[in-house]
Structure 1
Amino acid sequence: MGSPADAPAPPPDGARNGPAVSRGEFDALFERVRTWGRWAPADRGAWNRVTADHVRRAGALVRTGTVVPMGRPWDTVPGPDNTRPALHYMSDLGDVEAPEPAAHKDFIGADYHGKAVSHLDALSHMAYRGRFYGGGTARDLVGAGGARFGEVAALGPLVTRGVLLDLPTVLGSPWLEPGQAVHAADLTAAEEAHGVTIGEGDAVLLRTGRFRRRREAGAWDPGASSAGLHAHAVPLLAERGIALLGGDGDSDVRPSPVEGLHSPVHTLAIAAMGVPLLDNLDLEELSAACAGAGRYAFLFVVAPLNIPGGTGSPVNPVAVL
């Protein structure tokens, strides 16, 4: 794919993440992809699409038994992309006199809805114009004790077909530059290049090369500038009937192309379509595994923590080829 020095100079931000979208245009997009009232239970959203048949078909994709994890290392180091570092400390060093064997214990904690921890966003994570997926009022459904609708505990595990869309390999670059938007035409080009078609119940993973760029060019603030989907690309995913969307960023191109809205893809996926999101996955190993196997569809498994009232969960999803 070439070295960073070989990568073309990025175009200006306006050329990368346009076209601009007005709030009126965005609201029309929201109505176009909205699936409110389609499923019960509603707070599982698009995960209701995945049936036992989907699971069996996904299992048939396992050929070599190669298992590829996607969760990032627990990141306790502050940086421009980790403004709220995770916590890890020892709570028991086994140095207190006690019966054998000695026990060693530790504590972990994280404000994980950020740019560092690999995590899943449940349906309670996003409300648009004050309403959650399905129309419930966020003011009434979330309080100090957590969410009473769309909690991560309602989701349970997901086992389905995963599809990797490896945009840098398709576009012939080591990574997408921060601020570069992915459009519907890019998604279909990736399908054609990879010999795969996104289908109902799929978990779609978008690789932009973020963590390769981070390793080779250094960390930056992805909240200000990151590669990701343009809002106009979302209807294609809605038409295909996906169950889950994830990536090595947070799926949104930043700066946002939508006037006055910081996370339009989050809004469309979670609040309109009922599609949970996976953020901050390290897809570098999966990219190499798919290229080596010559296929970009696989068995995909994610099991969020069972947190009553939680708006999401740290996760370590796995692909099995």
Structure 2
Amino acid sequence: MTEAGFRSLYRELRRAAPGGAGPRGALATLTPARTLAALREVRSGRTVSLAAPVNTHEAPDNAEPAQHRLTAPVGGAPDPGGLQFARDRIAMNVHGDVDSHIDALCHVIYEGTLYGGVPAADVLSPDGAAALSIDLARDGIVGRGVLLDIPRLHGTRWLEPGTHVSAEDLAAAEARQGVRVGAGDILLVRVGHRRRRRELGAWDAAGARAGLHPTALRFLADRHVAVLGSDGNNDTAPSAARGVAFPVHVLAIHAMGLHLLDYLQFEELAPLCEREGRWSFVCVIAPLRLPAATGSPVNPLAIL
């Protein structure tokens, strides 16, 4: 895709943004009525985590691993007498290539602005984001989740790095799975990133990974999707758009106001959906209360 072609698609998707130009972005499509309707998806009461365990080991895709240490008892040795408390400290790069996280609307700076054309310099400082932070989702995101399994569509275990998921792939997966993505839905797209990593080992995911083609975002705009998530980064690497390293992030967050969920894991959910013969469920996303943050670690839950 040429730079001119990308800019044209950007303008098109900005005009078609699911939530209009409102301050909550596409979350505006997830109304209380749609949340209430989503609760009808629960039949068995089974819950499944959609997050990978926080990774504390350096790897080709994890140059800045999360750090976890026990801060008390000192030295890790408890005193045999009296009362003590075990305590922890965790530090992490929220937007890395391994740990499951959600991106806020202030995460993407494109040509000096944030979502809605807000000048980034007016919002961002070393103290955090004064607007469009993850605090927009402080009350949680609860709605109808739909999983589209693209490797299943193509009869493979995973998509090889560099493979693009098209709008036609998304529509074909819908038809194959007997489900339809609707307004206010939380769309989850499986590319098999987690399974490939588990079976073949880590690789430099920043340089090569499967993801959505930028034109696939038209599918999301047409369906008025509220949130997009993937078991990869959502973006393909190498990029499909000349001069734009993360075109899906730019289009989804900056143009359309979509919160993105990166590096989830669906290896428990997908077989469960297949066994039950249904690919929709209640999805509960609860970011940490980080009022000025550009994102948050997250452990979304699917309730079937």
Which TM-score band (shorter chain)?
over 0.9
Provide Cα deviations, 1:28-78, integer angstroms capped at 9, x if missing partner. Answer: 1111111398354x0x21111111111111111000111010111110000
CA contact (8 A) 1:36 1:133 kept: no
Residue 295 of structure 2 corresponds to 312
Distance 2:33 2:21 in 1: 18
AA in 2 matched with 1:150: L
Q: Secondary structure at the match of 1:204?
A: strand
Q: Which runs of 5+ in 2 are unaligned?
A: none
1:101 CA drift (Å): 3.2
Q: Give the counterpart of 1:116 among 70, 88, 98.
A: 98
Of the three residues 62, 67, 84, the one matched with 1:102 is 84
> Does residue 140 of structure 2 align to residue 160 of structure 1?
no
Q: Which runs of 5+ in 1 are unaligned?
A: 1-20
Using structure 1 for the length normalisation, give the TM-score. 0.90
**Is the contact between residue 100 and residue 264 of structure 2 (CA under 8 Å) also seen in structure 1?**
yes
Q: Counterpart of 1:138 in structure 2: which amino acid? A: A
What CA deviation, in whole Å up to 9, does each residue of 1:180-213 have, x standing for no partner?
0000110000000111111111110111111111
Q: Tell me, yes or no, if the aligned pair for 2:68 and 2:91 is still in contact at 8 Å.
A: yes
Please give the secondary structure, in 2, of the residue aligned with 1:124: coil
Distance in 2, matches of 1:296 and 1:303, equals 21
Equivalent residue of 1:139, what SS?
A: helix
The counterpart of 1:125, out of the listed 101, 107, 116, is 107
TM-score of the pair, normalised by structure 2: 0.95
Count of aligned residue pairs for this structure pair: 299
Q: Look up the equivalent residue of 2:245 and give its one-letter code.
A: H
Instruction: Judge conservation of contact 2:19–2:27 (CA < 8 Å) in 1.
Output: no
**Residue 320 to residue 36, structure 1, CA distance change in 2 (3 Å):** closer
Post-superposition shift, 1:102?
A: 2.3
The reply on whether 1:283 has 2:266 as its aligned counterpart is yes
Q: Does 1:257 align with 2:226?
A: no
Q: What is the alpha-carbon distance in structure 1 between the residues aligned to residue 19 and residue 117 of structure 2?
A: 9
Q: How does 1:1-321 map to 2 (within 5 A)?
A: 21-34=1-14, 35=17, 38=20, 40=22, 42=23, 44-93=24-73, 100-156=82-138, 157-321=140-304
Of residues 231-240 and 262-271 in structure 1, the stretch that sits farther from structure 2 once superposed is: 231-240
| Counterparts in 2 of 1:104 and 1:267: CA distance versus 1, 3 Å | same
Distance in 1 (alpha carbons) for counterparts of 2:281 and 2:296: 23
Cα distance between partner residues in 2 of 1:260 and 1:176:
24
Q: Secondary structure at the match of 1:125?
A: coil
The residue identity in structure 2 corresponding to 1:173 is: T
- Where 2:176 maps in the other structure, the secondary structure is helix
Maintained 8 Å contact 2:18/2:29:
no
Q: Which runs of structure 1 show a deviation greater than 2 angstroms over 4 or more consecutive aligned residues? A: 35-40, 94-102
Partner Cα separation in structure 1 for residue 251 and residue 110 of structure 2: 9
CA distance in 2, matches of 1:282, 1:96: 36
- Contact residue 204 and residue 242 of structure 1 kept, 8 A: yes
Letter of the 1:307 counterpart: L
